[in-house]
Amino acid sequence: MIPRYARPDMVAIWSPESKFKIWYEIEAHACDAMADLGVIPRENADAVWKAKDVEFDVARIDEIEAVTKHDVIAFLTHLAEHVGSEEARFVHQGMTSSDVLDTCLNVQLVRAADLLLVGMDKVLAALKKRAFEHKDTVRVGRSHGIHAEPTTMGLTFARFYAEMDRNKNRLEKARWEVATGAISGAVGTFANIDPAVEEHVCEKLGLRPEPISTQVIPRDRHAMFFATLGVIASSIENIAVEIRHMQRTEVLEGAEFFSMGQKGSSAMPHKKNPVLTENLTGLARLVRMTVIPAMENVALWHERDISHSSVERGIGPDATVTLDFALHRLAGVIDKMLIFPDNMLDNMNKFPGLVMSQRVLLALTQAGVSREDAYAMVQRNALKVWEERLDFRELLLADEAVVDALGVEAINEKFDMGYHTKHVDTIFKRVFGDS
């Protein structure tokens, strides 16, 4: 990933240095377990730990791989250069490359998930704060982009909170599902290595033993992990699109914070563009781009092939680094977002009283008017509001059929804004509990 959309902590998980450190830990813990079983001498297992503080030389490993054409063998050769050829002769005994590669990948994905969960907590905290801040800030709800009925800005934030809370739960499950390791040897039969070695290595690395591997950990686990990242990215875009719509000049109910010295356009000095949320929409596309390849990786030949390998070298860092950056950017956008309550009311009143049409319709049916007649009575007045920008309540009060059915007092009562916000507290309690 390019540095522009990357945070150092997540990038570090995928660095060659971090990868080789995990490879080393897998091999060293495996040697310990084999020594405990009496398969290899204890002194050889202890000797491997001489390299525990070594900064493995990436350039040297690449140099060896240029000859061996095999990354794991290149690493093992370099490890022997530090430990000693004789002392390292039992390293990797009974293991296959996938034992190292797959277990390492899952360690990286678990660590990445932990960072992503931190980012999600930041987004959730920002959404919750703004939801309570604007719990009673009335704005018009829109369906099909058209004014519908009143809602509140707090409910908008609350529904995004609930969506992200579901995503957090999904990510926790995906983290659990991918947190397995395999040290099962060629074709996964444990023919040349005791299952106890796998159990020991997994325990040390915070994983669970894969119940049954072939020569690889089943890729349905990874498909679910990346699919979850794709859903989270889509939710980020969902929030970003709402903010972008709110910042439109003719709407302007909310906007990204515009910092001192910031410029919106190289040509038009007046511009304030929603560049951060537009960026989030783009980043969401990049994350989703990794989902289909992850699903296609599930189907491998027999006990293993490496058609998945090149894919995962790309999508592992790409998806997690991008989503990590996006989550932190989104948290900042929400936290600093500007809200314009007066504009919300102005927008609602561009078609005076029109958002109360359903209340009048329901009242007419309750008063004994058929639904068809009631709809026609309301619509004929509503269309005049659309076409002539007249006041809906005044039109109803001038409509004899409506007055005869409801009376003046009942018509006026239907324009109480509190009617639409009376259950906000109930919804908030469902979303946030008693907090």
Q: Which residues on adjacent β-strands are paired with residue 329?
A: none
* Residues whose CB falls within 8 Å of the CB of residue 429, separated by 6 or more in sequence, listed in order: none
Amino acid at 404: D
Burial class (CB in 10 A: 0-12, 13-18, 19+), 326: buried
- Work out whether the CA dihedral 10, 432, 176, 174 comes out positive or negative: negative
Torsion of CA 122, 127, 133, 139, to 10 degrees: 160
Are the C-beta atoms of residues 114 and 175 closer than 8 Å to each other?
yes
Q: What are the backbone dihedrals phi and psi of residue 94, each rounded to the nearest 5 degrees, phi first?
A: 75, 0
Q: Give me the catalytic one of 144, 259, 302, 435.
A: 144
Task: Note if 245 is an active site residue.
Answer: no
| 109 to 21, 199, 228: CA distances (angstroms) | 15, 19, 12
Residue with tokens 């730990």: 49
Q: Give me the catalytic one of 15, 70, 265, 423.
A: 265
Are the C-beta atoms of residues 393 and 425 closer than 8 Å to each other?
no
Task: Give the Cβ contact number of residue 12 at 10 Å.
Answer: 12
| 352 to 75, 160, 225, 376: CA distances (angstroms) | 73, 29, 49, 19
Burial class (CB in 10 A: 0-12, 13-18, 19+), 146: exposed
Q: Label the pairing between strands 338-339 and 254-255.
A: antiparallel
d(CA 123, CA 120): 5
d(CA 297, CA 220): 8
Task: Note if 78 is an active site residue.
Answer: no
**By three-state DSSP, how is residue 1 classified?**
coil
Helices (H) then strands (E): counts for the chain: 20, 6
Are the C-beta atoms of residues 154 and 137 closer than 8 Å to each other?
yes
In the numeric block, which tokens belong to residue 227? Answer: 């699919």
In the numeric block, which tokens belong to residue 194? Answer: 């005791």
Are the C-beta atoms of residues 97 and 305 closer than 8 Å to each other?
no
Catalytic residue positions, numbered = 144, 265
